[in-house]
Structure 1
Amino acid sequence: MSGQPIAVVDAFTDRAYRGNPAAVCVLETDRDAEWMQAVAREMNLSETAFLRREGDTWRLRWFTPTTEVRLCGHATLASAHWLWEAGLASAERIAFETLSGRLVAARAQDAIDLDFPARPAARATAPPRLLGALGLAAGAALTVAGAEEDWLVEVADEAALRGVAPDFGLLAKVDARGVIVTARAGEGSEVDFLSRFFAPACGVDEDPVTGSAHCTLGPFWAARIGRSRLRAHQASARGGDLEVELRGERVGLIGRAVTTLSGELLAQ
């Protein structure tokens, strides 16, 4: 019995069972959104990526267990990694057509460099419930800013960041795709800043490593630190690492990936 090939790739890590796992499904024929959503729900990972070759490019869509999203970094990294590893792409650059326009993945020595749109944040008044849903007192937020679909909240240090314990039921009621919480790394750290990302409204309480959030974090921290290329760590339970490079209106997300599973969907 043959079925639909599918793989699971851990993104933004060089070790298996860390970083953010994404399912990658390369399609031979078009499938409807209802089927894609059902597969994503079955995989029950923060994202499942669906790819379909279109000439020299690949059509790419991303689904959480509950909804389709407009931009996803880790599942794009996982997709590029799998296309190269499985021999489905040979060029040094892969172009993806997505709901956020054309995205490009390029080989960068032992890593992959993603070219993504920058999503700068602008200071704003925190919406009702936001800080309370994060378990933060008003004074604990050094900065609150809005960036397209997300809210960004800066806290004092790594300890404050790791201590955030959201009420996910309340946080799901905030009008946003998700909430980025971030802090500058302390003296002697190997990274420049840390973050966490919560998206219960999209069916993902805490995302292990979020590439799209770094499209906001890159401009935010580049302005404060005074460098265009920064090292980042997402401080989830799995943890993940990447470099972020500000490139005008674009952001480079540079990371590694590891395949942990490949197989077939037998029910189609």
Structure 2
Amino acid sequence: MLTVVVVDAFTETAFKGNPAAVCFLEEDEEKDVEWLQAVAREFNISITCFLTRVAASGTEDSSPRFRLRWFTPVAEVNLCGHATLAATHALFTSGKVDSDTIQYVTLSGTLTAKRVSEIETAGTSTYQNGDAPGFSIELVFPVVPISECDSENASSLSRVFDGASIVEVKKTAKDDLLVVFSSGKAVEDLQPQFDKIRSCAGRGIIITGLAQPDSGFDYVNRFFCPKLGVNEDHVCGSANCFLAPYWSKKLRKNDFVVYAASSRGGVVNVCLDEQNQRVMLRGKAVTVMTGSILV
């Protein structure tokens, strides 16, 4: 019998943000990919992730290490921000770790997560938006490069988005399209047509635009990925691995407060470390369900 928790990530309010199912596997328990995918299909939310503790060795530091895998309802993916935050929240709040730092062994290499106390948060103005009593979690992810998109793809996207005013189109190293709208309001107001989005090249489409003045945010975004069984990913943390470098060049800054403009909404505090090519993602999470997998 395996423990599972459902956590809403990048929010401090239940039923907001982005939900993820976090499944705890035993160290000596090997589950095949078909079983893992079947569990993700059963939950049928954007991401179900699986944690397995990695035994410590004498050469490692004192931070606990876990193998972490992420599955949509139809496929395994190699990077996911909100489920990593959800997994970290589950580990910290369950008492399964006694450290403020956790390392994850993933398909994208070793990723680090840490607990950030309210005292530390209050001393960093960049991260004050949306903070509540308790603690935040900071993830350290790699920058995802972007490149130019061919003109044929760019011209077809305006039709996909019903004539929306598109400023720029890029392609990411994760095979997603980055579409820059003329305003954040246009991003928020879009009524997506998922059949049209599914027909586009690449894996998924992230749309973004400058946040409205006095909103308290720097830019907004939404991520659509119907090919992977996720029509809209309510808060895509890992999208900021390429959005932060993009907006850094436009806005000439490296610290951002980002709004995910899905129906559930969510806030991601982002800091770009240009020198080390890393992106720090900070947010909160709420546990909404606990249970067991019986098979």
Whole-angstrom CA distance in 2 between matches of 1:122 and 1:164: 25
The answer for unaligned runs of 5 or more in structure 2 is 56-63, 118-134
> Match of 1:13?
11
User: What are the equivalent positions in structure 2 for 1:59-70 lying under 5 Å apart?
Assistant: 59-70=67-78
Equivalent of 2:269, from 235, 243, 247?
A: 243
**What is the distance in 1 between the residues matched to 2:148 and 2:281?**
24
The 8 Å contact of residues 135 and 164 in structure 1, kept in 2 or not, is answered as: no
Give the Cα separation in 2 of the matches to 1:115 and 1:202: 25
1:63-113 Cα distance to aligned partner (Å, 9 max, x none): 001111110000000000001111111111100011111111011122101
Residue 136 of structure 1 aligns to which amino acid in structure 2?
G
C-alpha contact 2:148 2:169 (8 A) present in aligned 1: yes
Paired with 1:258 and 1:240, the residues of 2 have a C-alpha distance of 12
Does the aligned pair in 2 maintain the 1:27–1:52 contact within 8 Å? Answer: yes
Asked whether the 8 Å contact 2:185–2:211 carries over to 1, the reply is no
User: Structure 1 length normalisation: TM-score?
Assistant: 0.94
2:196 aligned counterpart, secondary structure: helix
Indicate conservation of the 8 Å contact 2:169/2:177, yes or no: yes
Quote the offset at 1:30 in angstroms. 1.5
Question: 2-side partners of 1:5 and 1:179: how far apart?
Answer: 33
Residue in 2 that maps onto 1:259: 287
1:33-48 residue pairs with structure 2 within 5 A? 33-48=33-48
Using the alignment, how far apart are the partners of 1:124 and 1:24 within structure 2?
A: 35
Query: Percent of aligned positions with the same letter in both sequences?
Result: 43
Contact 1:230–1:245 (Cα < 8 Å) also in 2: yes
1:49 corresponds to 2:76: no
**Does 1:211 pair with 2:237?**
yes
Structure-1 residue corresponding to 2:83: 75
Mapping for residues 1-268 of structure 1, pairs under 5 Å:
3-28=1-26, 29-55=29-55, 56-109=64-117, 110-125=135-150, 127=153, 129-137=156-164, 140-148=165-173, 149-248=175-274, 249-266=277-294, 268=295
Deviation at 1:261, TM superposition (A): 0.5
Give the drift of 1:135. Answer: 2.5
- Alignment partner of 2:67: what SS? strand
Structure 1 unaligned segments of length 5 or more: list them: none
Q: Which moved more, 1:245-254 or 1:232-241?
A: 245-254
Runs of 4+ aligned residues of structure 1 deviating over 3 Å after TM superposition are 128-131
Note the C-alpha offset of 1:124: 2.1
Name the CA distance, whole Å, in 1 between partners of 2:136 and 2:247: 22
In structure 2, how many angstroms separate the alpha carbons of the residues matched to 1:47 and 1:130? 27
**Helix, strand or coil for the counterpart of 2:99?**
coil
Per the TM alignment, residue 160 of structure 1 is displaced from its structure 2 partner at its CA by 1.2
Aligned positions, number = 263
The alpha-carbon deviation at position 129 of structure 1 amounts to 4.3
After TM superposition, the score normalised by the length of structure 2 is: 0.86
Q: Distance in 2 between matches of 1:131 and 1:180?
A: 14
CA distance in 2, matches of 1:161, 1:123: 21
Q: Cα distance, 1:175 vs. partner?
A: 2.8
Secondary structure at the counterpart of residue 23 of structure 1: strand
Higher deviation after alignment, 156-165 or 247-256? 156-165
1:229-251 Cα distance to aligned partner (Å, 9 max, x none): 10000000000001111012110
